[in-house]
């Protein structure tokens, strides 16, 4: 009997907690658009790559020529991401 | 209490199943189901936490109506160890697995609540599939329910294996399990990425930190296990190539390869097939580790892990491997590299070599570990491969790995020109050559070319890493001014992932130097001494000053006081001992029963930066056992008289029991005194272990590096600007 009571109480708590989102109206879109979040993450990763290349150049691992070529390519890729982000957010640069 | 735990466990199983269903319903875009599945994972975590709390309360309160408590604790078990006794049992280990997984899954889903919309439902289903498997095992497999009860409850328990009563053992199993379990997260997201064909680096970016945490936990677990072996088992080593040790080392090596190769995918869009294959292999090896600890299929010092769940875990490994191979094969087109390797003189090329070396090490260890089963399969005889076999094949691979540990951080991504390479390598190469020359001329390192090579490559790696800090600091100083020390800290703080990684590499190089020195130039001697006698080992004069003996309710402790002198001066006064534990619940306790249980060694250790002086004692207790037998005969006579009295007057039973206990204690005390006054010769294992402390120090350095790399950097903060793209890029870059 005690087992049943404890089980029922726990079950009720879990059901209330877990099904709370289902009792809301169907959500049309996320609060934070996951695609924007993904692009933001890709942008941060690209920035990190650019900074890494800058540091590699500063400490002498990359020659001037190699750095110029790499930096230009990475910046081009970063700008592509920024453009896509702006298109999704409906704003201009 | 049992009812509460049982209800929570049953509900946990149903909640995990619900999370799978809700996640799969929500995969088409209804966020309410995704949110509900995430909440189900949080609920699972709370329910399993409740299960753990119930079990811990039962252990703390000596509630022997719980089978798990009766089998793995007793009234005499020290309180400190009662709290950790849970994971010495099979059912407790399974509960720990599921509980840690529920915590890791909750953290992963919280971290990705606004990311990876397509991948998360499948990742949730995989994580909860694994959780449901382990919770289901506890509920449905034979003899592994942590809430199995005993009615009537016995008055006392069997007790905790004395070998497990060591501070390292409090932390070692949960660390290993946390490491195994945390690899579920990147595996689950990899499966999600494969199913949804979202195979860019997004899943890696979101789970990299979990992989690093898993790697760090597994590393700490390995280290604590090695420390336990060094100080508790009494054989003098820290690594025996025991199958269960190997089972934890393999996923750690594979995880190390994974952590390196995902950087190549993040930076260059390459090695996609390789990365998903590596995480599948790492997770499968983590499951294999759990299987080996719990199955008992291979002879191991971890004999306390007999199990009934081995076949189920093996089946899960089969499902993981077959399912993953099918999935990867069906996605080969999407897994094509975005770029090709520009040059062999690049960091990605070195990472590839490093990956191959790590996998080579893993393959050697796998073969050696499972050779007994393989040989039995083909020849019918179970033949094992011993430590020298492992050493022969792993040593050269480890040495080359140290070299590449040093080369990798020195190179840039994509390409390094020869002029830059010359500038970068000249100092590390010069210092390495100088170190090799000095060691060859001033020590006996040249007698072991492998060790000499490792020292030279270690010097190369450490110099290269120091140079990286120096050059980074100098670059920062040129821009911001200030002292070099401040500049180095600033550049490391700004690039935590890179410099954290460098510190990990430095730690691993130091650790391997410690291993090479201690294993190649160790002095290991067994000597037999009587009290008052002396012997000389290396530069140390060791005198067996006097024997020691004591007894309490749980154990006899016999030992020796050793006076160790170096250059005529006292170097250390050590007291190695050997403890003989009385099995708990012995029906009629006797003095001899103390020698029927487990015995453990407490070593005498004087640790130092240059070398450790380590000693363990093997006492000759044959004389003591003879005396104990005689004492027990007298004791039995006393007991027979007492029994007659109690038969005549049952009211005297409690007083008689107290008297019997008192007689037993005094008899045991006299036996201990006898050993102190007439101790026979004892055998001492004396080991002088050069540089072994650096192994622990190196591991600590690596751990600090991992923490720095895990810690989120300031650049993770979001920035919002509205300038033109080029200028905006420049501005955003200059901010972090």
Each residue's pLDDT tens digit, B58-101? 999 888 889 899 888 888 888 888 888 888 888 888 899 999 99
A18: which chain B residues are within 8 Å (Cβ-Cβ)? 15, 18, 22, 36, 39-40, 43
SS3 B198: coil
Q: Is residue B100 part of a domain?
A: yes
pTM to 2 decimal places: 0.87
Q: Are strands B604-606 and B611-618 parallel, antiparallel or unpaired?
A: antiparallel
Provide the pLDDT confidence category of residue B723 given band limits of 50, 70 and 90: very low
Domain termination residue (choose one: B109, B129, B162) = B162
Residues B403 and B502 in one domain: yes
Residues B157 and B214 in one domain: no
* Tokens representing residue B340 in the block: 């090709």
Give residue B244's pLDDT. Answer: 83
Q: Contact at 8 Å (CB) between B293 and B90?
A: no
Residue B721 has pLDDT above 70, yes or no: no
A64: which chain B residues are within 8 Å (Cβ-Cβ)? none
Q: Is B44 on the interface with A (CB under 8 A)?
A: no
- Give the integer Cα–Cα distance in Å for B427 and B683: 50
- Give the integer Cα–Cα distance in Å for B9 and A89: 45
Q: Is residue B358 part of a domain?
A: no
With an 8 Å Cβ cutoff, are B115 and A37 in contact? yes
Residues B69 and B178 in one domain: no
CA distances from B696 to B43, B224, B236, B509 (A): 39, 10, 15, 12
Q: Contact at 8 Å (CB) between B275 and B265?
A: yes
Give residue B719's pLDDT. Answer: 45
Residue B718 has pLDDT above 50, yes or no: no
Which stretches within B298-448 are classed as H helix? 310-330, 347-379, 387-407, 418-442
Q: Is B266 on the interface with A (CB under 8 A)?
A: yes
* Tokens representing residue B66 in the block: 């719980």
Find the residue in B nearest to A45 (Cα). Answer: B266
Q: Contact at 8 Å (CB) between B642 and B656?
A: yes
Residues B609 and B539 in one domain: yes
Residue B681 has pLDDT above 80, yes or no: yes
Residues 461-500 of B with CB under 8 A from A: 468, 471-472, 474-475, 478, 491, 495, 497-498
Running DSSP on this structure, what letter comes out for residue B522? -
Taking each helix axis from N to C end, the angle separating B243-268 and B167-182, rounded to the nearest 10 degrees, works out to 40
Residue B615 has pLDDT above 50, yes or no: yes
Q: Is the dihedral of CA B356, B357, B358, B362 positive or negative?
A: positive
The count of other CB atoms within 10 Å of the CB of residue B152 is 7
Residue B360 has pLDDT above 70, yes or no: yes
What percentage of chain B's residues is helix, strand, coil (to nearest 5)?
A: 70, 10, 25
ipTM: 0.78
- pLDDT tens, N- to C-terminus, chain A (93 residues): 777 788 888 889 999 999 988 887 765 555 566 678 778 878 888 888 888 888 888 888 888 888 898 889 889 989 999 888 888 877 655
Provide the pLDDT confidence category of residue B55 given band limits of 50, 70 and 90: very high
Q: Is residue B191 part of a domain?
A: yes
What percentage of chain A's residues is helix, strand, coil (to nearest 5)?
A: 80, 0, 20
Residues B625 and B606 in one domain: yes
Q: Is residue B435 part of a domain?
A: yes
B42: which chain A residues are within 8 Å (Cβ-Cβ)? 17
Running DSSP on this structure, what letter comes out for residue B302? -
Running DSSP on this structure, what letter comes out for residue B310? H
Predicted confidence (pLDDT) per residue in B414-432, tens digit: 888 888 888 889 999 999 9
CATH number at residue B235: 1.20.120
Residues B508 and B409 in one domain: yes
A90: which chain B residues are within 8 Å (Cβ-Cβ)? none
Residues B701 and B687 in one domain: no
Q: If residue B544 lies in a helix (H) or strand (E), which one and from where to where? A: strand B540-551
Give residue B734's pLDDT. Answer: 63
- Give the integer Cα–Cα distance in Å for B608 and B714: 39
Higher pLDDT: B733 or B226? It is B226
A14: which chain B residues are within 8 Å (Cβ-Cβ)? 11, 15, 43, 47
Q: Is residue B376 part of a domain?
A: no
Give residue B129's pLDDT. Answer: 96
Domain termination residue (choose one: B314, B346, B378) = B346
Q: Is residue B351 part of a domain?
A: no
* Tokens representing residue B227 in the block: 């420390």
Predicted confidence (pLDDT) per residue in B22-52, tens digit: 999 988 878 889 999 999 999 999 999 999 9
B512 Cβ contact partners less than 8 Å away, ≥ 6 residues apart: B398, B402, B454, B458, B698
Give residue B403's pLDDT. Answer: 93
Domain termination residue (choose one: B123, B144, B162) = B162
Q: If residue B6 lies in a helix (H) or strand (E), which one and from where to where? A: helix B2-25
- Give the integer Cα–Cα distance in Å for B93 and B99: 10
Give residue B722's pLDDT. Answer: 40
Q: Is B91 on the interface with A (CB under 8 A)?
A: no
The count of other CB atoms within 10 Å of the CB of residue A90 is 6
Give residue B41's pLDDT. Answer: 96
Give residue B386's pLDDT. Answer: 84
- Give the integer Cα–Cα distance in Å for B203 and B194: 10
- Give the integer Cα–Cα distance in Å for B670 and B550: 10
- Give the integer Cα–Cα distance in Å for B468 and B647: 84
- Give the integer Cα–Cα distance in Å for B418 and B39: 55
Percent of chain B with pLDDT over 90: 47
Running DSSP on this structure, what letter comes out for residue B560? E
Q: Is residue B339 part of a domain?
A: yes
Strand partners, A4: none
CA distances from B62 to A80, B69, B72, B475, B560 (A): 65, 7, 11, 62, 35
Give residue B670's pLDDT. Answer: 84
Q: Is B718 on the interface with A (CB under 8 A)?
A: yes
Give residue B299's pLDDT. Answer: 56
Residues B606 and B596 in one domain: yes
Give residue A93's pLDDT. Answer: 55
Predicted confidence (pLDDT) per residue in B253-277, tens digit: 999 999 999 998 888 888 889 999 9
Domain that holds residue B254: 166-346
Q: Tell me which residue of B669, B260, B279 sits closest to B501, measured CA to CA.
A: B260
Residue B660 has pLDDT above 50, yes or no: yes
Q: Contact at 8 Å (CB) between B558 and B577?
A: yes
- Give the integer Cα–Cα distance in Å for B728 and B187: 37
Residues B700 and B582 in one domain: no
Q: Contact at 8 Å (CB) between B342 and B411?
A: no
Q: Tell me which residue of B370, B392, B393, B367 sits closest to B382, measured CA to CA.
A: B370
| Residue appearing with tokens 């004999």 | B303
- Give the integer Cα–Cα distance in Å for B370 and B386: 12
pLDDT, mean of residues B452-474: 94
pLDDT, mean of residues B283-305: 71
CA distances from B135 to B309, B446, B730 (A): 12, 55, 52
Shortest Cα distance from A30 to chain B (angstroms)?
7
Q: What is the 3-state secondary structure (H, E, C) of B687-708?
A: EEEECCHHHHHHHHHHHHHHHH
Higher pLDDT: B210 or A34? It is B210
With an 8 Å Cβ cutoff, are A61 and B411 in contact? yes
Q: Are strands B604-606 and B534-537 parallel, antiparallel or unpaired?
A: unpaired
Q: Is residue B41 part of a domain?
A: yes
Please, what is the average pLDDT of chain B? 87
Give residue B130's pLDDT. Answer: 95
Residue B553 has pLDDT above 80, yes or no: no
Q: In what order do the strands lie in the sheet with B611-618?
A: B523-529, B682-690, B611-618, B604-606
With an 8 Å Cβ cutoff, are B417 and A66 in contact? yes
Predicted confidence (pLDDT) per residue in B176-193, tens digit: 889 999 999 999 999 999
B53 Cβ contact partners less than 8 Å away, ≥ 6 residues apart: none
Residues B501 and B547 in one domain: no
CA distances from B206 to B26, B45, B112, B187, B500 (A): 20, 21, 7, 12, 18
Tell me how many domains chain B contains: 4
CA distances from B646 to B461, B636, B665 (A): 77, 15, 21
Residues B144 and B291 in one domain: no
Phi, psi at B713, each rounded to 5°: -95, 165
Residues B12 and B140 in one domain: yes
- Give the integer Cα–Cα distance in Å for A80 and B5: 55
Q: Tell me which residue of B23, B209, B121, B114 sits closest to A35, measured CA to CA.
A: B114
Give residue B459's pLDDT. Answer: 95
pLDDT, mean of residues B101-110: 95
Strand partners, B562: B544, B574
Give residue B184's pLDDT. Answer: 95
């Amino acid at each position: 009997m005690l087992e049943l009571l404890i089980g029922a109480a726990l079950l009720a708590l879990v059901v209330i907690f877990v099904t709370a989102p289902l009792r809301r109206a169907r959500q049309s879109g996320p609060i934070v658009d996951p695609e924007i979040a993904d692009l933001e993450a890709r942008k941060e990763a690209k920035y990190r790559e650019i900074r890494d290349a800058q540091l590699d150049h500063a400490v002498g691992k990359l020659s001037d020529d190699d750095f110029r070529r790499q930096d230009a390519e990475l910046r081009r890729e970063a700008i592509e991401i920024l453009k896509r982000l702006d298109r999704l957010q409906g704003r201009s640069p | 209490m049992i009812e509460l735990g049982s209800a929570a466990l049953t509900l946990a199983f149903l909640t995990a199943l619900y999370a799978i269903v809700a996640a799969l319903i929500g995969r088409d875009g209804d966020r309410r189901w995704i949110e509900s599945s995430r909440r189900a994972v949080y609920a699972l975590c709370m329910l399993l936490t409740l299960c753990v709390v119930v079990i811990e309360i039962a252990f703390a309160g000596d509630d022997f109506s719980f089978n798990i408590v009766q089998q793995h604790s007793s009234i005499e078990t020290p309180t400190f160890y009662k709290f950790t006794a849970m994971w010495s049992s099979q059912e407790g280990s399974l509960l720990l697995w599921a509980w840690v997984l529920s915590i890791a899954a909750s953290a992963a889903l919280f971290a990705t609540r606004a990311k990876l919309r397509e991948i998360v439902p499948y990742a949730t289903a995989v994580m909860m599939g694994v959780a449901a498997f382990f919770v289901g095992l506890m509920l449905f497999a034979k003899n592994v329910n942590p809430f199995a009860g005993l009615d009537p409850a016995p008055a006392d328990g069997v007790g905790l294996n004395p070998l497990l009563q060591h501070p390292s053992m409090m932390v070692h199993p949960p660390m290993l399990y946390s490491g195994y379990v945390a690899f579920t997260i990147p595996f689950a997201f990899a499966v999600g990425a494969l199913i949804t064909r979202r195979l860019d680096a997004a899943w890696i970016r979101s789970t990299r930190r979990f992989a690093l945490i898993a790697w760090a936990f597994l590393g700490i677990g390995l280290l604590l296990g090695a420390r336990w072996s060094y100080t508790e088992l009494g054989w003098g080593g820290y690594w025996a190539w025991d199958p269960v040790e190997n089972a934890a080392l393999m996923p750690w090596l594979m995880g190390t390869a994974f952590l390196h190769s995902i950087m190549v995918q993040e930076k260059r869009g390459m090695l996609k097939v390789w990365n998903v294959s590596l995480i599948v292999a790492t997770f499968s090896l983590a499951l294999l580790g759990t299987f080996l600890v719990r199955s008992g299929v291979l002879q191991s010092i971890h004999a306390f892990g007999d199990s009934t769940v081995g076949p189920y875990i093996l089946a899960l490994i089969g499902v993981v491997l077959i399912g993953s191979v099918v999935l990867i094969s069906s996605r080969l087109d999407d897994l094509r590299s975005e770029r090709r390797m520009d040059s062999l003189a690049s960091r990605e090329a070195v990472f590839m070599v490093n990956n191959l070396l790590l996998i080579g090490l893993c393959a050697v260890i796998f073969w050696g570990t499972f050779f007994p089963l393989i040989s039995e399969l083909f020849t019918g005889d179970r033949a094992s491969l011993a430590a020298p076999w492992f050493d022969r094949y792993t040593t050269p691979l480890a040495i080359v790995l140290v070299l590449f540990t040093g080369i990798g951080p020195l190179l840039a991504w994509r390409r390094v020109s020869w002029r830059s390479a010359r500038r970068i390598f000249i100092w590390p190469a010069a210092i390495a050559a100088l170190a090799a020359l000095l060691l060859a001329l001033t020590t006996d390192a040249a007698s072991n070319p492998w060790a000499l090579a490792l020292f030279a490559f270690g010097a190369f790696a450490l110099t290269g890493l120091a140079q990286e800090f120096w050059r980074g600091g100098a670059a920062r100083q040129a821009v911001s001014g200030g002292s070099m020390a401040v500049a180095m800290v600033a550049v490391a703080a700004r690039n935590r992932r890179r410099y954290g990684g460098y510190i990990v590499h430095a730690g691993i190089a130091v650790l391997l130097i410690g291993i090479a020195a201690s294993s190649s130039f160790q002095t290991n001697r067994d000597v037999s001494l009587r009290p008052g006698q002396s012997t000389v080992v290396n530069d140390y004069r060791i005198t067996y000053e006097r024997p020691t003996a004591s007894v309490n309710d749980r154990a006899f402790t016999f030992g020796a006081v050793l006076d160790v002198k170096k250059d005529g001066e006292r170097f250390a006064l050590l007291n190695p001992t050997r403890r003989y534990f009385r099995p708990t619940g012995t029906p009629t306790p006797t003095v001899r029963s103390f020698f029927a249980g487990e015995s453990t060694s407490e070593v005498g250790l004087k640790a130092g930066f240059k070398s450790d002086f380590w000693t363990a004692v093997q006492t000759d207790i044959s004389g003591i056992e003879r005396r104990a037998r005689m004492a027990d005969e007298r004791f039995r006579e006393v007991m027979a008289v007492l029994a007659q009295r109690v038969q005549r007057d049952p009211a005297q039973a409690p007083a008689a029991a107290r008297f019997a206990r008192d007689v037993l204690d005094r008899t045991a005390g006299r036996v201990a005194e006898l050993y102190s006054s007439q101790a026979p010769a004892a055998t001492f294992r004396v080991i002088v272990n050069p540089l072994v402390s650096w192994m622990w120090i190196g591991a600590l350095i690596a751990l600090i590096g991992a923490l720095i790399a895990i810690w989120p950097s300031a650049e993770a903060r979001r920035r919002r600007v509205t300038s033109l793209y080029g200028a905006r890029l420049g501005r955003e870059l200059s901010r972090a």
